[in-house]
Amino acid sequence: MNKGPVDSARVPRFAGPATFARLPRLDEVGRADVAVVGVPFDSGVSYRPGARFGPAAVREASRLLRPYHPALDVSPFERVQVVDAGDIVANPYHIEEAIESVEAGAAALDARLVTIGGDHTIALPLLRDAARRHGPVALLHFDAHLDTWDTYFGAEYTHGTPFRRAVEEGLLDTEALSHVGIRGPLYGKKDLDEDRRLGFGIVTAADVLRRGVDEVVDALRQRIGDRPLYVSVDIDVLDPAHAPGTGTPEAGGLTSRELLEILRGLAGGNLIGADVVEVAPAYDHAEITSVAASHVAYDLVSLLALQEYK
């Protein structure tokens, strides 16, 4: 029998340790099908820092999550063993060393991961681990920004470059790459040309508005097929009204409802891992962003719970 969250009828939600969704720690159960793990690292940011405090804030906001997901008709914590695996420690003063630590920490966890960042730099080592396990993976990337730039100030490893590095390293299936929620000014048209050359398709935030969630989901599913899929969610894909607590906010983003409905449309696909990044609680009045991120992580856990486990 799987061990689930603390019973809120016995222990109030505001009491006790703040593990994700009040789940047991990995060391309390000794095994996991799905593990929620934090990476409190933000040395790769280009504007506002603070995402190193994201994992703690999302865990605190997740106290309100409940064990049954009606939209997906699944009780994820009953179906599979889900745990909070704590944090992967990464050197805040050395980005390359931090990337190696995150990759090693992910590899040491014998489970499918939902990782809470931290900045988007951490997607690269997580994709390295995913590709080691599954071969080149499809990528569905929710973000206001492309994150396929080459360098910042000569640095190859930042929160704006992980997916270019991932393509260069052969981690991604370039027939099945999609950005969702892209918007805002760019450095030039060449940004789009280079992104297209890497193999990405783009669904802008305006496309979601005009085409609607169902049509967008259909297009994404056709592009992904049954390939192993990794989902990376930068919380700034949401409009600042829905996610003010992030490092590089852009106007005109998705609503939290649109994001959650697109994710739910992936049910039945071959999801193998995911991350939720760029939650910066210092800018998050009333915990709006942390609450949204906790629900995104919960939906990702629920999608992974729908997979077949042996």
Per-residue model confidence as pLDDT tens digits over 155-206: 999 999 999 999 999 999 999 999 999 999 999 999 999 999 999 999 999 9
DSSP letter string, 69-96: BTTTTB-HHHHS-EEEEEE----TT-HH
| Cα–Cα separations (whole angstroms), residue 177 to 7, 140, 191, 228 | 40, 6, 16, 12
pLDDT tens-digit profile of 59-78? 999 999 999 999 999 999 99
Alpha carbon 77 to chain centroid, angstroms: 19
pLDDT at 310 over 60: no
Residue 108 near residue 37, CB atoms below 8 Å: no
Q: What is the DSSP code string of 86-153? A: EE----TT-HHHHHHHHHHHHHT--SEEEEEES-GGGHHHHHHHHHHHHSSEEEEEE-SS----S-BT
Q: Using one digit for the tens of pLDDT, what is the confidence trace for 2-38? A: 999 999 999 999 999 999 999 999 999 999 999 999 9
CATH code for the part of the protein at 20-305: 3.40.800.10
Please list, in sequence order, all residues whose beta carbon lies within 8 angstroms of the beta carbon of residue 184, skipping any fewer than 6 positions away: 144, 145, 250, 251, 252
Claim: this prediction has a pTM higher than 0.85? yes
Grouping H, G, I as helix, E, B as strand and the rest as coil, residue 228 is: coil
- Can you tell me the distance from the alpha carbon of 267 to that of 70, in angstroms, rounded to the nearest whole number? 13
Reported residue count of the chain is: 310
Distance CA 255, CA 294 (A): 15
Convert the pLDDT of each residue in 259-307 to its tens digit. Answer: 999 999 999 999 999 999 999 999 999 999 999 999 999 999 999 999 8
Averaged pLDDT for residues 194-223 = 98
109: closest CA among 38, 179, 41, 50? 38
